[in-house]
Copies of this chain bind each other. A is one copy, B any other.
Amino acid sequence: MRSAYTRRLFYDLRVESVVSNKLDAVHDVLLMGPGPSCVYPDVYRALAHPTLGHLDPLFIAIMDDIKTLLRTLMQTTNRATLPMSGTGSAGMEAAFVNLVKPGDAVLVLVNGVFGKRMAEVAGRLRAQVDTLEFDWGTPVVPETVAARLQMKDYALVAVVHAETSTGVRNPVDKIGESVKMSGALYLVDAVTSLGGIPVHMDAWGIDLLYSGTQKCLSCPPGLAPLSCSERALAKLRARTTPVPNWYLDLSLLLSYWEGAKRAYHHTAPINMLYGLYQALQCVMAEGLENVYARHRNMHELLVAELGKLGLEILVEPDYRLPMLNAVKVPAGVDEAGVRARLLGEHSIEIGAGLGPLAGKIWRVGLMGHTARAVNVQRLIEALRAEL
């Protein structure tokens, strides 16, 4: 049956494939970059639980718990609160592809990589995209947004809560006030904020919010928790053309994630959902207020200790994210060399700057399970040795 060509290919490739198993070399790295963060030990155990079928009654009960736990974390009563089966960027894709129709006027507030990415995603969906740009390392200014919203009607306004590329917290609550008055839908990227600083989806008037598992939830990357308001769902239902993305079509996903009879859509990523479930249990067991206080305290400890080494933070204190610290690289220091030595000699990962901040900052993450004093001290000692 097999031709000479495929026979040769078969054996050639099989020989090439006898590779050593590099998993044996995987060891603990202290993940202090922009994500992924250190994973809770209980989450690793959860990932290895026996796989159930995606329509197993016990698995469906776990799905229901996940929705409840996510609502608490996001402070929302939205029934449409569920994880997308992809990483945080799939959450961004899902948000725009469901809520934006070709030709819709969309305003994206940009002060870093992830705001730019939002504009790119919306543009690919043939929205008419305007951006309001702010310097990287500074926050979005609500008054500027309010002024723009008085000049032009938008179907949707999008902003990143925690700009992972710069360490800036955008004033999502204040921005939301003028968005609400304008009547536009309000879309917020909470990939890095959720689980690290308070997120009040309903109180802040947010219509669509998405996040990721690999930041302050301390679960490996792979899922994108998302919540959608009734107002946004009504807009989705009023579409006259189908969502041009079957995999992320929220209406189809909801027919699997809720109701008495669950309709198969795609095979859910069962074990990743175990991981998210356990991570949410860990966060709730500690208590949201305690989790936020821990992030804040560890951030203050880090900033104080960095200060003793003569290292400064890029962002003004009022807008600093506790979980993502943009540290200025001192003049004359080999930025990439320090990162490489931290990883190679100390098994500590920190992040590089991106875009206009490349080479100018290190990004030090204190996300979820990473945000502990022992980790801060370990980084400080390593930096002291390497600087």
The interface of chain A, by Cβ under 8 A from chain B, is 2-3, 5-6, 9-10, 13-14, 16-19, 21-23, 25-29, 31, 33, 35-36, 38-39, 44-54, 56, 58, 61-62, 65, 68-69, 71-72, 75, 77, 85-90, 92-93, 97, 117, 120-121, 123-126, 200, 202-203, 212, 214, 220-222, 242-248, 264-272, 274-275, 277-278, 281, 284, 287-288, 343, 349, 354
Known contacts A77-B9, A247-B90, A288-B14; decide if A58 and B22 are in contact (CB<8 Å).
yes
Q: Which of A52, A71, A88, A278 has the most CB of B within 10 A?
A: A52
Q: Chain B nearest CB: distance from A215 CB in Å?
A: 9
> Which of B3, B22, B245 is in CB contact (< 8 Å) with A245?
B245
Picked from B61, B89, B243, the residue with its CB within 8 Å of the CB of A247 is B89
CB distance A58 to B13 under 8 Å?
no
Residues from chain B with a CB closer than 8 A to the CB of A97 are 245
- The 8 A-B pairs of least Cβ separation, nearest first, read A222-B269, A89-B266, A6-B203, A13-B72, A220-B271, A17-B72, A93-B247, A44-B48
Name the B residues within 8 Å of A288 (CB-CB): 10, 14
A93 contact set on B, CB distance < 8 A: 245-248
Bound CA–CA A5/B268 (angstroms): 35
Decide: A53 near B13, CB < 8 A? Known: A21-B278, A117-B246, A246-B93.
Answer: no
State in angstroms the CA–CA spacing of A275 and B272 once bound together.
Answer: 11
Number of copies: 2
Partner of A274, one of B17, B26, B275: B26
Q: Is the CB of B272 within 8 A of A13?
A: no
Contact status of A88 and B214, CB under 8 A, knowing A13-B71, A51-B36, A246-B124: no
Chain B: which residue is nearest A15 at the CB level? B72
Which of B9, B44, B46, B90 meets A75, CB within 8 Å?
Answer: B9
Residues in B neighbouring A124, C-beta threshold 8 A:
242-246
In angstroms, Cα B120 to Cα A243, docked, is 11
Whether the Cβ atoms of A221 and B269 lie closer than 8 Å is yes
Contacts of A268 in B (CB 8 A): 87, 221
Closest Cβ of chain B to A23, distance in Å, is 6
A77 to B: closest C-beta gap in Å: 7
CA distance A90 to B223 in the complex (A): 13
Q: Which residues of B contact A281 (CB under 8 A)?
A: 21
A14 to B73, CA, bound (A): 8
CB-CB < 8 A to A90: which residues of B? 85-86, 247, 266
CA distance A47 to B26 in the complex (A): 12
> What residues of B have a CB within 8 angstroms of the CB of A92 in the complex?
246-247
Q: Which residues of B contact A86 (CB under 8 A)?
A: 85-86, 90, 247
Contacts A51-B36, A214-B267; A22 near B89 (Cβ below 8 A): no
B-chain residues with CB within 8 Å of residue A343 when the two chains form the complex: 56
19 contacts between A and B (CB under 8 A): A2-B200, A13-B72, A16-B68, A17-B71, A23-B49, A23-B62, A29-B50, A29-B53, A31-B53, A51-B214, A87-B268, A93-B246, A97-B245, A117-B246, A121-B246, A214-B267, A220-B269, A222-B222, A271-B272
Q: Which residues of B contact A214 (CB under 8 A)?
A: 51, 267
4 more CB-based (< 8 A) A-B contacts, given A6-B202, A14-B287, A92-B246: A17-B72, A36-B51, A44-B50, A221-B270
Residue of B nearest to A280 (CB): B17
User: Please, how many angstroms separate the alpha-carbon atoms of A27 and B69 in the complex?
Assistant: 22
Q: Are A26 and B50 in contact (CB under 8 A)?
A: yes
